[in-house]
Amino acid sequence: MSLEAMAGRVVASITIAGEASPRVELAPAATGLLRRLWAQHGPLMFHQSGGCCDGSSPMCYPAGEFLTSAADVLLGELDLGPSPDPLGPQERIVPFWMSAEQFGYWRHTHLTVDVVPGRGSGFSLEAPEGVRFLIRSRLMGE
């Protein structure tokens, strides 16, 4: 991968106690799209529920619009860098949540959030853009 492509990648913080490797990252296209969505909608969050159809796609919501609970696991926080706010830069942190049940199945995987053409059928913020978020997974440690 070129240095230019790597520059757009964002790797999440480690949020699960006892873990040494991050579980989630953004592909460059996802980073760019999230920055645009943040400019339009303000703070954001992801939730990956599992299940069929679009339940297997990560859903992007305005922060706090999807209520999380003990039935969800915070897999990481994605730092989009400071906003280009004329009143001063502000942090842009996007938490990535997954249902605990789905995490039980995917606990050995590393997730890369990417963007592909096409519309999913859901309430995710990228739908009007004519694209959808997609998870690319690999086993942890690969």
Task: Please name which of 106, 111, 81, 115 lies closest in space to residue 96, comparing C-alpha atoms.
Answer: 111
How many CA atoms, within 13 angstroms, populate the side-chain half-sphere of residue 140?
Answer: 10
Per run of 10 residues, the mean pLDDT along the chain (length 142 residues) is: 57 91 95 95 92 72 94 96 80 95 92 90 86 93 68
pTM of the entire predicted model: 0.88
- For residue 115, list its beta bridge partners: 133
Q: Give the pLDDT of residue 53.
A: 54
Instruction: Please give the pLDDT value at position 2.
Output: 41
